[in-house]
Amino acid sequence: MTTTYTTAALVREQIHHISSDLSDSDIEAMINMAESLVDSVMRTSGINSPSFEFSSSKHGLIRMATTLAAAFQVMSSDVEEYTSSSMVIAQANLIYTLLQVCLDKLSDSRTVSYLTNL
């Protein structure tokens, strides 16, 4: 399945401690789940089926939300790569907080309307 909003390379950049055993196809499976989450959140904004052609230069908020959601999943499945639990907790909290901000913005119909009209 082809991913639309982000790439495995961008997810890898978000997480500095990632197992080399995790393949791009493993990460892309997590990206697909993240893209479904982002699409669902945008639909809950009241715009049932936002229709637009994704452009990374115009839709940075969508890319960021998807990358963060996938990074959180990767990190959750691969915590043994971290040297300390405090490092895992700090990075997870940061990613989760940024993701929540993005999803809050994407749940607003004004944001979704703006993004679909770019």
**17 CB-contact burial (10 Å; exposed 0-12 / middle 13-18 / buried 19+):** middle
**Which tens digit of pLDDT belongs to each residue from 6-53?**
999 999 998 877 877 889 999 999 999 999 999 999 888 777 666 788
Percent of the chain with pLDDT over 70: 93
Residue whose pair of structure tokens reads 């890898």 in the numeric block: 12
Integer-rounded Cα Rg, in Å, for the chain is: 15
Identify the H or E element spanning 73: helix 60-77
Residue 94 has pLDDT above 70, yes or no: yes
Q: What is the mean pLDDT of residues 72-90?
A: 82
Task: Give the Cα separation of 11 and 1 in Å (integer).
Answer: 17
